[in-house]
Amino acid sequence: MTDVSGEDAVPIDATGTIEGVRVVPLRRIPDERGTIYHMLRRTDRHFEQFGEIYFTSIYRDVVKGWHRHRDMTLNYACIWGRIKLALYDERPGSPTEGSVQEQFMGPDDYSLVIIPPGIWTGFKGMDDVSLVANCATHPHDPVRTDRRDPFASGFPYDWGIRHR
């Protein structure tokens, strides 16, 4: 599904077509005691390496981003609440350069989004509190991370609601 929003907007593709971005369905095991949420195992075909894991909470309508890691692959899963993840490919020479991808994440559609180095990443909270896990391939290095204001002019994404 492709949509275009705003003056500077580029096509938004919710199907996962930015080169190198993968969406992997994850397993949940619910029972009367609670739910196990699998995320990433060393034996998974898509596992690269372990650098660090962290969890970040985000409140409704707050945007975290934009940031771009030059070396690390991100492995995102939203284990509580819901988020709208937005990705922008600004990699020179990439076959999807200039593309934007959206992914809605949460326990009801539980998945791992694998984001290669060089992709601009941001997400917006859609519930009162949401919790996102990231199992990155490298420890965070602020020197190797670029940041932009999530509402900066000229960045081709609108965080508002699109009525489809």
Which among 117, 118, 81, 88 is positioned nearest to 102, based on CA atoms?
88
Which pair of structure tokens corresponds to residue 131?
């919790």
> How does pLDDT run across 13-63, given as a tens digit for each residue?
545 589 999 999 999 999 999 999 999 999 999 999 999 999 999 999 999
Dmax over Cα atoms in the chain, in whole Å?
Answer: 51
DSSP for 7-58, written as a single string: TT---EETT--STT-EEEE--EEEETTEEEE----TTSTT-----EEEEEEE
* pLDDT band at residue 73 using 50, 70 and 90 as cut-offs: very high
Per-residue pLDDT, averaged over 125-129, amounts to: 99
Tell me the pTM.
Answer: 0.88
pLDDT for position 17: 85
Q: Is the C-alpha dihedral spanning 112, 142, 56, 118 positive or negative?
A: negative
pLDDT for position 16: 54
Q: Which CATH number fits domain 2-147: 3.40.50.2300, 3.40.50.300, 2.60.120.10, 1.10.8.100?
A: 2.60.120.10
pLDDT for position 156: 87
